[in-house]
Amino acid sequence: MKQRWNHIFFLHAKIAPDLLQPYLPFKLDLLDGMAILSIVPFKMDMIRLWNLPPAPFFSHLWEINLRTYVRVGGKPGVYFFTLDTDSALGCWIANHFFHLPYRLAKIKAVVRKEHFYFESRRSLARIFHTDRDKELAKTDGLPPAAGRPRERLPLGSPEKERRVGASESTQTSILTQGCMSTHRPCQNGSLTQYPSGFPVFAGDRHEISGLASFKTSFCITGEKKKKTILDRWTTDRDRLFTLKRGEIYEGRVHHDSWPLEKIENLIFEDHFSTQIPIKCHFDPQESSYAPLLNVSFETFRKTGNTIS
């Protein structure tokens, strides 16, 4: 698969590895003894299979992902906690064919000359990845999953009032506290049920629930950035790792060197990384921007290894 990435923004936080490792199925890759967590919004377009024309209906979309950096079998790569996009079809395809944890979000982005603005918001509604998810997620108060019909209750009925009240109190808690997460450490694939009613399958894939939002704006300078060690360490990677039913999948990605540029007047509001209950400090001085990058993907393949 070939595609083009546009207006890619990187924001990084350094985290003590013992805080982040429990939330990962793979071993962390460390830079000077620290784990790195990154927020990366960008636009994807010209999506096409090999030399075919751009795919209809989802040839362009906006995305924001929350990622960290791992080693699997001695190979450095990228692991995604979540990837949020504004394309329902693209979300479905990525979940079912690439085994990546894509979720549907509302995204607004404006790029005009030197100004960049991006805003993403994902509600409590979830995208489910497996049949097991769908069966076990039938919990009171949980918004209907994609593909599951909404149960219609009469207005004014006790059950309707109870569910609406529960939903409102949950959203208030999220808005006042930044984000409420039910993401917990891996427990060898066991199912853990939390008070909010969201099941978590740590052994299959980290399910992150909550009101996830991120806003940022900055000025594009067009001035080439001298790459730091962190810039090179986070971008010079050609492997993506993910899990499906305990099996490890590896995807290869190919692209030229990142054309990173400096930015100015950066402002951001992060309620996206708080999906993981770890205090993070994203350093504006370690941010960077790339206007354009042509990318090609190889099909995700099983590595032959499993996580029990």
Answer whether residue 135 shows pLDDT above 50. no
User: Are 70 and 95 in contact, with CB atoms under 8 Å apart?
Assistant: no
- Mean pLDDT of the chain, nearest integer: 76
**What pLDDT, in 10s, does the model give residues 47-62?**
877 677 776 666 789 9
Q: How confident is the model at residue 246 (pLDDT cuts 50, 70, 90)?
A: confident
**What pLDDT, in 10s, does the model give residues 235-244?**
999 999 999 8
| Dist CA 272 CA 51 (whole Å) | 35
| CA atoms in the 13 A half-sphere facing the CB of 27 | 8
Q: Which positions ≥6 away from 230 have C-beta within 8 Å?
A: 12, 31, 36, 286
DSSP string, 61-84: EEEEEEEEEEEETTEEEEEEEEEE
Name the residue type at position 274.
T
Answer whether residue 119 shows pLDDT above 60. yes
DSSP string, 240-276: EEEEETTEEEEEEEEE-----EEEEEEEEEEESGGGS
Residue 58 is predicted with a pLDDT of 67
Q: How confident is the model at residue 150 (pLDDT cuts 50, 70, 90)?
A: very low
Residue 210 is predicted with a pLDDT of 59
**What pLDDT, in 10s, does the model give residues 252-274?**
999 999 999 999 999 999 999 98
Mean pLDDT confidence for 102-121: 95
Structural domain of residue 106, as residue ranges? Answer: 2-306
Residue 126 is predicted with a pLDDT of 44
Q: How confident is the model at residue 123 (pLDDT cuts 50, 70, 90)?
A: low
Q: How confident is the model at residue 208 (pLDDT cuts 50, 70, 90)?
A: low
**What pLDDT, in 10s, does the model give residues 153-206?**
444 455 444 443 333 322 222 222 222 233 334 333 333 332 333 233 333 444
**Domain count across the chain:** 1
Q: How confident is the model at residue 97 (pLDDT cuts 50, 70, 90)?
A: confident
Q: How confident is the model at residue 92 (pLDDT cuts 50, 70, 90)?
A: confident
User: Are 258 and 9 in contact, with CB atoms under 8 Å apart?
Assistant: no
CATH number at residue 96: 2.40.400
Q: How confident is the model at residue 93 (pLDDT cuts 50, 70, 90)?
A: confident
| Dist CA 97 CA 99 (whole Å) | 6
